[in-house]
């Protein structure tokens, strides 16, 4: 009997300890307060350094830098075709993210956050395999891609349902604008530097229309990945613990 009681005590203690360990490191904001949006913005700013370092207890990866091991993009519009597989993409620049505004919406158990952010500069390095056709300029094979993007403005649209005090996110969509983009390529066209340089020059000259064609596909691909990432956090904490 004593052994049974000790086992029960041990299990309960273990559960309580795990619950305490998995407390999300953010300030709780009260929904009925007049400064709710401001509180959420400040809470996000305060907790961002911890997200950058990663939260292993939530299976949440390190964001500084952020490593994306595999992705695939297929686009075909306005004379621009591409089927590209990206591997080991490393993203730098997230530590200097500025949070401009946070707008919460809660209606009929649907909770949505809209977050405006600005990133002065992002640098990405990775490897790409596939084929592209940019208005008649064709390329294929495998090569390295270095990408620099300046003055990024994004709005994150994070939407999900709240049930049993848990926020289950269903979509993490992004709208994005940028001021400048520059790409450096190597190894494409069977490692032909002449043709690789030609493709690089073309992209750097005509990046605005290319960006408009490619961005919707990228956003569609990122949605499930970002949704999974944020659900790792909010599936392990109560909704009221963060958004009281």
Pairing of strands 166-177, 137-163: antiparallel
> Can you list the domains of the chain with their CATH numbers?
2-242 (3.15.10.30)
Phi/psi at 195 (5° precision):
-75, -35
| Candidate from 21-35, 88-102, 181-195 with smallest mean pLDDT | 21-35
Can you give the pLDDT at residue 164?
93
Residues 34, 45: Cα–Cα separation, whole Å: 19
Q: Is the whole-model pTM more than 0.95?
A: no
Reported confidence tier of residue 23, pLDDT bands at 50, 70, 90: low
Reported confidence tier of residue 185, pLDDT bands at 50, 70, 90: very high
Pairing of strands 80-92, 110-134: antiparallel
| Candidate from 16-25, 91-100, 157-166 with smallest mean pLDDT | 16-25
């Amino acid at each position: 009997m004593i052994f049974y009681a000790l086992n029960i005590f041990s299990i309960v203690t273990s559960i309580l300890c795990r619950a305490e360990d998995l407390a999300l490191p953010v300030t709780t904001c009260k929904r009925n307060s007049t400064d709710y949006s401001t509180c959420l913005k400040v809470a996000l700013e305060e907790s961002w350094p911890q997200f950058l370092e990663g939260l292993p207890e939530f299976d949440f990866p390190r964001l500084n830098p952020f490593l994306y091991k595999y992705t695939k993009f297929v686009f075909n519009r306005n004379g621009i075709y591409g089927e590209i597989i990206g591997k080991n993409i490393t993203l730098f620049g997230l530590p200097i993210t500025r949070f401009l505004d946070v707008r919460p919406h809660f209606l009929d158990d649907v909770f949505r956050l809209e977050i405006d952010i600005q990133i002065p500069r992002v640098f990405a390095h990775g490897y790409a395999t596939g084929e592209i056709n940019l208005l008649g300029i064709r390329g294929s094979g495998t090569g390295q891609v270095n990408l620099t993007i300046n003055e990024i403005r994004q709005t994150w649209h994070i939407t999900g349902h709240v049930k049993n005090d848990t926020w289950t996110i269903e979509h993490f969509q992004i709208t994005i604008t940028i001021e400048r983009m520059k790409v450096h390529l190597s190894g494409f066209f069977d490692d032909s530097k002449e043709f690789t340089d030609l493709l690089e020059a073309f992209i750097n000259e005509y990046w605005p229309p290319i960006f408009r064609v490619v961005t919707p596909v990228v956003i569609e691909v990122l949605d499930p990945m970002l949704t999974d990432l944020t659900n790792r956090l909010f599936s392990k904490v109560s909704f009221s613990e963060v958004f009281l």
